[in-house]
Amino acid sequence: MPLPDDATALVEQVAGGERTAAAVLELSLDRIAQHDPALRAFSVVLADEARAEAAARDAELARGRARGPLHGVPVAVKEELDVAGCVTTFGGRGNRTSAAEDGEVVRRLRAAGAVIVGKTQMPEFGQWPFTESVAYGHTRNPWDLTRSPGGSSGGTAAAVAAGLVPVAIGGDGGGSIRIPAACCGIFGLKPQRGRVSSGPNAHLWWALGTVGPLSRTVRDSALVYDAIRGNAPTDVFTAADPAESFSAAADREPGRLRIGWSAKPVSLGVRPDPVNVQALRDTARLLADLGHDVREIDPAYPDPTAAFVPQFLGGVRAEAELVEDTRALERRTHQTLLMGRWATDKVVRGAIRRGEEVERKANRVFDDVDVLLTPTIACRPPRLGRLDGAGTVRAALRSMPMIAYTALWNVTGNPAASVPVGLGPDGLPLAVQLVGRTGDEGTLLSLSAQVEAAQPFPVPPLG
């Protein structure tokens, strides 16, 4: 019996007695053993710990205890998040001591009944949209092993796309959920800033970063968000509770929406691949056929550079301060830290204030539309080795086509989702980005689910 593609069905099967959490976990571990040697999605597989946790889930069900919304679901977690008993590596070799406690998101996953099966690869400190590191090598795309899964949550995306786990947790500071979702043909929603706790850390790249799942279905993303959303006392950034659950939003019809589409990148000098632009146009036609008011617009993007760069540099520095041995960091990371010495806390606070002005200007687009539709990335999923031999400046230049549509919305804090829309002539996934008003994940989930129903998401041809 294969591992279900979606967590929602898995929970129902475990609750109904069709499967046990232990049996589901073994299917996941078998998939990992079969495919991960080639993919390198996982940094560590917690087989023994996960078996004990799955057995505990089955015992809870046998005793009649109320099951959680993720009961028995194997979940993987990105390396930047604390898992008790595991070293939080941030994608490098600078840490050696295991975390004493789970981070807030992992704690909430376990409380919801999930089984933590392992941790996933990322570039050091999540600096780049390519999951490559000196310490752990290259993570590969399940659609084509010569291609990158994107980043920085590339290990998370590869694990989900390949069916090693139904859902997994990533993070997004400049597109790091949406970019790998686009490269791997899965769904990835960056939530509203402050929607999900960064605990025990006070922030994730200051006002830029947030945490969230990548999944095969929109419904699964909503299911996980309902389990993990909310704040801890230590969080610098918070968000008010939504009016409806994310699951309810994913299950309802979106109604007739005003959707503005644009192929114009935020980043100057970036030209989107014609294949991605055609996918955007095709999606606009699909949405019009579904009854929405769809039109091409000029979003009049403000320049987010002065708000983004200091927070990026300050965020890397803040995470580097959590590392035991900075001498073990990559040469490229040392360059980033050296270049970013000017991004002091005072400078970062100024960048956050500039970000508030960028937010006001960028959100003017929603005076006339309910949702903005763009490409997720400008290029096709790139070949492996984009970071080979590259210092910080060259790596940043190579990253521009990947973040040209995504990073602005980290500065503003708006929710934004990458939605799969088929395959290109190269056999690789196509994706579009949906951006919503501040705090309006519900509309994005409802609209994304409508697109999914009209045009089912692709699945990699793995055994």
Contact 92, 127 (CB under 8 A): no
Catalytic one of 43, 133, 153, 176: 176
Catalytic one of 28, 43, 78, 262: 78
Active site residue 78: yes
Active site residue 119: no
Distance CA 299, CA 263 (A): 10
Distance CA 145, CA 147 (A): 5
Active site residue 176: yes
Distance CA 162, CA 172 (A): 21
Contact 182, 404 (CB under 8 A): no
Catalytic one of 28, 43, 148, 152: 152
Q: Which residues are catalytic?
A: 78, 152, 176
